[in-house]
């Protein structure tokens, strides 16, 4: 495979979840999502059920990718922050490290200034965990000492079953 | 780039439908959406123009069931086929796990098919992938058209690595699931190897 897979273990996931849970509370946000730049949701906190999280993740990644493209067109490396203001709810999107996107949805119970402040702090912590995940993956890839993948014994029958055959 | 989450025991794979304008990429995804069990499918997101041409992408999340105790989820994307949307196509390939190339069987579209494969190779390369090794399926769509070129001719022109080649009529659902299945098989087998 051209790039390292993103493999998240329980303990790392718990840490990420803890950070964004705290962010949701501290920023008085409605929902906080942590999304992968390829459009996959990593973690969520707050009133998650009120939103179609999968579509949100994919559209956010598309949005960030398009904005990235725009940045490069005008000679910028990236735009690290996007803000969408609505009548009731607002969307604060920021980049975390190389592969993460942090999405904060908030209403009049919070403010852009507060969200920015809290996001800044949380981003730093999230970045550290992403770095750990990456370093572990790199190490395993270098030494070839990968943990035993649960898919090493996948069979044709397993795949047929997925399609209901 | 597959995302394996051990905490929620989920595995997410991204499959991209590629091909020239009006070849039937969106039709493939729409057919899957209409047929899929409501519990298994998410919302179909289409970013299209007023005339229903794909502007950025279509997106359909599909829950496939479990393999080895892991919930398998496919994220299906289409790219905009029209030539001038190349910048968007490049973005959508980011982090993909497999490609389904939808070729238009009409003779008049053969050149567009060839150009689109060349474009795919370039855009994959810019995203760090190799078209010769990434999971890849060739679908020959619109086999019901009177002007469809013979399969052998299309094979000679478009098939370049012994990839699975599936005949389809996407608006009737023929070959649509077979194509997806062929891609899924390659991606999951790739996981086994990696």
Q: pLDDT (tens digit, 9 = 90+) per residue, B8-31?
A: 888 999 999 999 999 999 999 999
Q: Is B132 on the interface with A (CB under 8 A)?
A: no
B71, closest residue in chain A (CA to CA): A162
Minimal CA separation from A151 to chain B, in Å: 5
CA angle B139, B64, A147 (to 5 degrees): 100
A150 and B69 in contact by Cβ < 8 A? yes
Report the number of distinct structural domains present in chain A. 1
Closest-CA distance, A2 to chain B, in angstroms, reads 5
**Does the beta-carbon distance from B57 to A62 stay under 8 Å?**
yes
A6 close contact with B: CB closer than 8 A = yes
Nearest-by-CA chain A residue for B135: A1
Contact B72 A162 (CB under 8 A): yes
Quote ipTM for the complex.
0.80
Please tell me the predicted confidence (pLDDT) of residue B140: 98
Residue A19 predicted with pLDDT over 90: yes
Q: Where are the domains of chain B?
A: 3-193
**In terms of Cα–Cα distance, which of A46, A29, A10, A84 is closest to B10?**
A10
| Residue A5 resides in a domain | no
Is pLDDT of B107 > 80? Answer: yes
* Beta-carbon pairs below 8 A across chains A and B: 135
Task: Measure CB to CB from residue B42 to each of A8, A9, A54 and give the nearest one.
Answer: A54
Residues 55 to 94 of B: which have CB under 8 A from any A CB? 56-57, 59, 61, 64-65, 67-70, 72, 75, 77, 87-88, 90-92, 94
In a domain, A160, yes or no: no
Q: Which chain A residues are within 8 Å of B13, Cβ to Cβ?
A: none
Domain range enclosing A106: 10-143
Provide CB contacts within 8 A for B32, sequence distance 6+.
B41, B60, B62, B76, B176, B177, B180
Asked if residue A132 is part of any domain, the answer here is: yes
Residue B165 exposure: Cα atoms within 13 Å on the Cβ side: 16
Q: Do B3 and A38 touch (CB under 8 A)?
A: yes
A41 min Cα distance to partner chain B (Å): 9
Please, what CATH class does the domain formed by B3-193 belong to?
A: alpha beta
SS (H, E, C) chain B: CCEEECCCCEEEEEEEEECCCCCCHHHHHHHHHHHCCCCCECCCEEEECCCCCEEEEEEEEEEEEEECCEEEEEEEEECCCCHHHHHHHHHHCCCCCEEEEEEECEHHHHHHHHHHHHHHHHHHHHCCCCCCCCCEEEEEECCCCCCECCHHHHHHHHCCCCCCEEECEHHHCECHHHHHHHHHHHHHHHHHHC
Q: Does B130 touch chain A (CB under 8 A)?
A: yes
Residues 52-71 of A with CB under 8 A from B: 52, 54-55, 58-59, 62, 65-66, 68-69
CA distance B61 to chain A (A): 7
Using pLDDT thresholds of 50, 70 and 90, give the confidence band for residue A144.
low
Q: Give the CATH number for residue A96.
A: 3.30.450.30
- pLDDT score at B86: 94
Q: Does pLDDT of A2 surpass 70?
A: no
CB contact under 8 A, B194 and A2: no
pLDDT of A1 higher than 60: no
Residue A152 lies in a domain: no
* pLDDT tens digits, one per residue of B33-78: 999 989 888 899 999 988 889 989 999 999 988 888 889 999 999 9
Around A106, how many Cα atoms within 13 Å sit in the side-chain half-sphere? Answer: 24
pLDDT band at B100; cut points 50, 70, 90: very high
Name, of A6-10, A98-102, A143-147, the range with top average pLDDT: A98-102
């Amino acid at each position: 495979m051209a790039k390292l897979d993103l493999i998240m273990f329980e303990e790392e996931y718990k840490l990420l979840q803890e950070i964004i849970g705290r962010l949701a509370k501290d920023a008085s946000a409605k929902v906080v999502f942590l999304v992968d730049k390829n459009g996959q949701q990593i973690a969520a906190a707050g009133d998650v059920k009120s939103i179609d999280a999968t579509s949100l993740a994919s559209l956010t990644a598309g949005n960030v990718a398009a904005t990235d493209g725009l940045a490069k067109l005008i000679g910028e490396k990236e735009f690290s922050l996007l803000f969408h203001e609505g009548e009731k709810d607002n969307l604060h999107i920021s980049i975390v490290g190389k592969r993460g996107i942090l999405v904060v949805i908030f209403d009049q119970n919070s403010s852009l200034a507060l969200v920015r402040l809290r996001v800044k702090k949380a981003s730093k912590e999230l970045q550290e965990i992403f770095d750990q995940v990456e370093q572990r993956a790199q190490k395993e890839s270098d030494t070839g000492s990968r943990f035993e993948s649960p898919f090493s014994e996948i069979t044709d029958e397993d795949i047929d079953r997925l399609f209901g055959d | 780039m597959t995302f394996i989450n051990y905490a929620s025991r989920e595995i997410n794979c991204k499959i991209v439908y590629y091909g020239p304008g009006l070849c039937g990429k969106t039709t493939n995804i729409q057919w899957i959406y209409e047929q899929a069990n409501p519990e298994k499918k998410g919302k179909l997101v289409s970013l299209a123009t007023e005339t229903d041409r794909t502007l950025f992408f279509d997106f359909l999340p599909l829950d496939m069931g479990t393999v080895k105790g892991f919930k398998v989820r496919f994220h299906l994307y289409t790219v905009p086929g029209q030539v001038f949307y190349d910048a968007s196509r490049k973005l959508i390939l980011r982090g993909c796990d497999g490609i389904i190339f939808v070729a238009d069987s009409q003779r008049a579209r053969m050149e567009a098919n060839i150009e689109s494969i060349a474009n795919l190779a370039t855009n994959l390369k810019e995203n760090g992938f190799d078209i010769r090794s990434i999971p890849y399926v060739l679908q020959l769509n619109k086999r019901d058209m009177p002007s469809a070129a013979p399969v052998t001719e299309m094979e000679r022109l478009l098939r370049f690595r012994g990839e699975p080649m599936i005949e389809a009529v996407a608006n009737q659902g023929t070959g649509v699931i077979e194509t997806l299945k062929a891609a899924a098989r390659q991606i999951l087998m790739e996981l086994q190897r990696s």
